Structure 1
């Protein structure tokens, strides 16, 4: 789905797609509503299954999808995103209508299921990986249609948002029932990104734990090489000093990310004269309102905040490498936390809430690459952040562990686990027998 609340799932899928492509597998990406092709390696094929305009109304519109959607996609992506975010509720409306199209009728969006089936036959697909379990009825309908046989595996990351939409439109019971039917229609267990997220799916969506398998997300591991230049950071934040520790938040700037808790925590530490600079970077999925709140809150608290929006991958890596620590103060029950794994892969300690799958990411075989704080508690966040500055032995231990802890989330581990899960060879056969593993992201 490209971006917004579901960017983490998209990054996971595109990372996997790139890994499979580099191993010689044939990979095709089917996009829904929006796309993010910049994350994919050259040579990977892309198809637009449907545009977001399809779900402008409660009933799917072929005309708005094929004609208006195609015309809008002639515009630069940043223009489309900016236009949609002018009214934050519009994305929720599209997603609610998507859920309605899959669950309110006996057949899930029949025209789209036929289109998916046609693409699968045209692309000679053998395996379909579905980014969200919620889209399972669509995959099941395509599988049941006549034509070339294929199988699908469902993945869960962010499906609680879809379940919430189903509840708001009175379809939660139907949603749960049909989602479980979709799971039963696959020969493989569905993939979830953490142990905690399995528990959440079982509780919130009422999926049987016997139908779920944990495969952690993978991130590119950074070699122990010379740190990236500080120059691009200085260009973005001219007042930022390289000799003063940087406390970094990097991620979406939306209310569920709890960035205001970080501001309160830094203010609570102000009287202790701890040298630190606060940097906040990241896109938004729901418009600029929360970012404006953060700006005003920082001013009210008397904090110097170095604040920016989306940053490039190179600048992101430079920020990770030059930061003293990365804070991930989410008030949501996060399924995983790619930012946390990425930061640790640079040897940078992290602070995370003790709630959700993100708490699993900082630990491995008795080692920790960061600390937990009590969720929603800015006072405890301040205490744990203070420890990183005032307990040098602890800080060195966490920094020394960070890369090793992050290593279990390397891309090869994820790729091997998924291939093994669906019964494909980790190393594809030769050119005479090309393996086929198209992905839907």
Structure 2
């Protein structure tokens, strides 16, 4: 190994995994700022605007590789390259507009890794070639579920490298493996990838580590908690309210805003928020409800949201993906940000971002997201009983009606979110792989052995 390592991060560039992509890109950018060489290997899709200048990037495989039940080099190298000449916005519109397109693609990816005697050998060989050509010494796999690729690549390279895996949304891979009837193979190969890695796997929260031990039967001693990092907000005056009215022209300054920002998919529990909003409106509370964010699995759930809103008679300010400037303005001016997820989030990146801008958060008591809103005795938000729209309504009512409580949480929120700085994350990452001798960041870097 060289004294100054070069990192590669293998990540899936969009879709249901956009949060993980942001996490991986944030780490890549931070490592580059520290003076390390970094290359990102994209799978399926790319999101190059997330990367800072100086971070190299390559396309490891196009989504077309998994158009059929077995991986296709022709579909990847020929059709994929042609398709990627089209604007990315058009590619994603097609993927979302065809019902079941993304699910089918991801199912075929899972099949290529776990349905056959060996994982996708041709792709592992390509990964090994990239690593050799780029002089990579340390490889971070964006998911534990694709760790088998790194393990297979190690067998095919003339230049040794070390790898580690990250678990950050692997339950979706596990669900697809179950649908393909290969759960036992999936668990075995994921466990092998974790055990054969040089370092314990990174997990984004204590709750998620416990879930992996229970659901995937992984060894807790091979898991270590390292929370995500977010870039701190720029100092200065708050974003002007007019930024919001460009996207939501009916928003008013004089009514409190309850905001959801995130992927508009069924597991995010937006319907629970709509039911809670109806309960509060029936009690005479006056507020504005904003729901916005991208989709990855098609537009069906967004259509369902519109149908539910119509049946409930809720006035909703609704949008698709928004700019970072609009997101920051929304968090700066909203009464609170809500994460009503029903799926046990591995972390809560949006929640940390909202709190960093002074927005108290309301989150479920299930998943790693509950770990984001409190730091010891200090809280930057409230917790409701998961799947309980009535309790969600009660917590929202407290924030809407109790000005003293809201002021306390809004004051605490940025300080609680400060734990999740990018610098803390990269310090913890480097310490984890033995490249930093300083004391580990408080709370952010934890052994999961006791799980």
TM range (shorter): over 0.9
Task: Please point out which of 89, 95, 116 is paired with 1:78.
Answer: 89
2:378 is the alignment partner of 1:367 = yes
Q: Does the 8 A contact of 1:233 with 1:318 survive in 2?
A: yes
> What is the distance in 2 between the residues matched to 1:321 and 1:284?
24
Unaligned 5+ segments in structure 1 are 428-441
1:129-168 to structure 2, matched below 5 A, reads 129-168=140-179
Residue 230 of structure 1 is aligned with which of 228, 231, 241? 241
User: Secondary structure of the equivalent of 1:359?
Assistant: helix
Output one character per residue of 1:335-376: Cα deviation in whole Å (capped at 9) or x when no partner: 111110000000110101111111111011211100011111
User: 1:400 aligns to what?
Assistant: 411
Matched, 1:10 2:26: no
Does residue 255 of structure 1 match 2:270?
Answer: no
- Would the aligned equivalents of 2:335 and 2:400 in 1 still touch at CA under 8 Å? no
CA contact (8 A) 2:233 2:356 kept: yes
Structure 2 counterparts to residues 35-74 of structure 1, below 5 A:
35-74=46-85
- SS of the counterpart of 2:290? strand
| 2:61/2:76 contact within 8 Å kept | yes
Counterpart check, 1:186 vs 2:197: yes
Q: CA deviation at 1:93?
A: 1.6
The normalised TM-score by structure 2 is 0.92
Query: Does residue 279 of structure 1 match 2:313?
Result: no
CA-to-aligned-CA distance 1:398-418 (integer Å, 9 cap, x gap): 111101110101100110000
Most deviating of 83-92 and 121-130: 83-92
Q: Which residue of structure 2 lines up, in the alignment, with residue 435 of structure 1? A: none
In the aligned structure 2, how far is the partner of 1:250 from the partner of 1:22? Answer: 29
Measured in 1, the distance between the counterparts of 2:87 and 2:210 equals: 40
1:224 to partner: Cα distance: 4.8
Partner of 1:112: 123
Give structure 2 stretches of 5+ with no counterpart. Answer: 1-11, 439-451
Structure-2 separation of matches of 1:347 and 1:379: 25
Q: What's the CA shift for 1:60?
A: 1.0
Question: SS in structure 1 opposite 2:163?
Answer: strand
Deviation at 1:146, TM superposition (A): 3.7
Distance change in 2, residues 1:42/1:55 (3 Å) = same
Matches within 5 A, 1:316-395: 316-395=327-406
- Secondary structure, counterpart of 2:93 in structure 1: helix
2: CA distance between counterparts of 1:351 and 1:103? 38
Pick one of 95, 104, 112 that aligns with 1:101.
Answer: 112
Is the Cα contact below 8 Å between 1:109 and 1:138 reproduced in 2? yes
Give 2:315's aligned residue: 304
Match of 2:177, SS state, is helix
Q: Partners of 2:111 and 2:306 in 1: how far apart?
A: 37
Q: Over residues 220-271 of structure 1, what are the superposed CA-to-partner deviations in whole Å (9 max), with x where a residue is unaligned?
A: 1224521011112111122111222111111111111111111111111113
**Offset at residue 43 of structure 1 (A):** 2.1
CA RMSD of aligned residues (A): 1.3
Give, in angstroms, the shift of residue 32 of structure 1. Answer: 0.6
Q: Distance in 1 between matches of 2:189 and 2:303?
A: 40
* More relative contact order, 1 or 2 (CA 8 Å, 6+ apart): 1
CA distance 1:268–1:258, shift in 2 (3 Å): same
The runs of at least 4 aligned residues of structure 1 exceeding 4 Å deviation read none
SS of residue in 1 equivalent to 2:420: coil
Tell me the CA shift for residue 296 of structure 1.
2.2
Could you tell me how far apart the structure 2 residues matched to 1:115 and 1:191 are?
25
CA distance in structure 1 between the aligned counterparts of 2:272 and 2:339, rounded to whole angstroms: 10
Aligned match of 1:432: none
